[in-house]
Chain A
Amino acid sequence: MPLENRINSDPNAVRNTYHTPMSTTVKKPAGGGESASLGVCMRRVAKHRDKDAFAKLFDHYAPQLRAYSLAHEPGAGLVADELVQEVMIRVWLKAGKYNAGLSSLNTWIFTLARNCRIDHLRRNKRYVTTIDPADIFNDIEDENPGPFQQAQISRIEENIHAGLKELPRGQAEVLTKVYLEGKSHRQASVELELPLGTVKSRVRLALKKLEVLLTR
């Protein structure tokens, strides 16, 4: 489904598509107030091992995480539940290491989800190498002093959210392939039946529009 449709979709349509007898309510995307309260929950989890606060984080993030996994492996509900479990457990265990000055909570959760996906692929023998992804991805973002201040991060984040809505369909489509489906530029070019050069330039154009890549 094109990204624009997802962004502008009617929340009722979401329920109709995914409703199951056991489903919990679908949360709306985080607004400013909500993300602030999620930050408070995160601090409670870190400092007081507060399970109610953790449950709030779960309600907000688990459906997102499940969607992220399904974007990569459509229909694989068990894999998606496993990813939710892995990530949420890491949130609980690593809460004390989360540094709000380094990255927003949303971005931290995204990197945890990405790392869990890589780990999952490796454990399922699609990666047979001995290279341990934990050592590659985990430490740098957690421990090094962050070059950005929180205010800067929020501003860039707002720009990106606004910019994504304005992206031409073709550019949004390649970003989805790359980030959500975890495809290489080459795989994206095969699946979208586009020349490799077109995929690369669309990714670059999109990231420039989002002011993520600056012109050299």
Chain B
Amino acid sequence: MTTANHSSPDNHPPDELLIGYSAGSLPLSQALCISAHLEHCNTCQRKLQRLNLVGSALMQQLQPSPTSARLKSSILDQLDNLIEEQTPPPSGTDSSVPRCLRQFIRGGYHNLNWKRVSKDISRIELCRDNNGARVELLKIRPGGAVATHTHLGDEYTVVLEGSFSDEKGLYQRGDFLRRDHNDRHTPVATHDRECICLAVSEGPIQLTGFFSRLLNPFIRRTHAG
């Protein structure tokens, strides 16, 4: 099947997203996906380091704006009373959960209150972003398939455990995918183990199979809710 390919070819976030991450302008839900990917990817970490150097150089080239002596002395006066808040990692945190997700996942993936949505798939919503994007985890049974679908908005996915494939390739732990309305895909988990993904969707998905299409009105309703 040929569709316009707007996604990154090699399982990494497109540069545009890394730039937004570095500049601090990405919606936090997208930043969450980038962060989960970065923990696994030295290539993107290195690129991010270079992008941060650009931000830093631009900041240095701004005309400095003088600060008041009062601000300086007030900050210096505070120093002795400052105590760094040490937030110890919550006990029982599973080290295989990316750091950026531990705010939502206290134990491991298996302690979560998964909701089964089909024979092969369970999901749990972690939160919503300001732009309405839904941040969730999806769990696909070994060999299980997600109904063929397209997206009304962009969807960002990071593989956290296991692996899956779709029409475009195989995605393994740490891999990042962006899919938009041009992409129709049918993700299938590999047979050896279940697959857990972080998924951020900015609009409801649109099922394209004949029978599953009948479910679309329900999906739209759950996304709006």
Contact = CB atoms under 8 A, between A and B. Distances in A.
A178 interface: yes
B47 interface: yes
Given A129-B127, A135-B99, A136-B35, A176 B58 contact: yes
Interface footprint category on A: 35 or more
Nearest to B38: A140
17 contacts: A20-B68, A22-B69, A24-B68, A25-B66, A58-B76, A81-B71, A89-B75, A106-B59, A107-B56, A113-B59, A114-B24, A147-B45, A148-B49, A157-B53, A161-B61, A178-B19, A182-B24
B84 interface: yes
Interface string A62-100: 111011101100000000110011001100111000000
Contact of B42 (A30, A130, A147, A210): A147
Interface in B85-119: 99-100, 102-103
A160 B67 contact: no
B61 A133 contact: no
Interface in A145-202: 146-148, 153, 156-157, 160-161, 164, 175-176, 178-180, 182-185, 200
A63 B25 contact: no
Contact of A135 (B60, B63, B103, B129): B103
B39 A29 contact: no
Contacts of B128: 129
A131 B49 contact: no
Which 4 A-B pairs rank lowest in CB-CB distance, beginning with the nearest? A63-B64, A23-B66, A110-B56, A67-B62
A24 B168 CA distance: 59
Interface of B: 9, 15-16, 19-20, 22-26, 28-29, 31-32, 35, 38-39, 42, 45-72, 74-76, 78-79, 82, 84, 99-100, 102-103, 127-130, 135
A58 to B, nearest CB: 6
A84 B71 contact: yes
B64 A127 contact: no
B53 A160 contact: yes
Given A51-B79, A67-B62, A184-B25, 19 more contacts: A17-B63, A23-B66, A26-B64, A29-B60, A55-B72, A62-B71, A68-B62, A103-B52, A118-B28, A122-B28, A135-B100, A136-B31, A139-B100, A141-B49, A179-B59, A182-B24, A182-B25, A184-B20, A207-B19
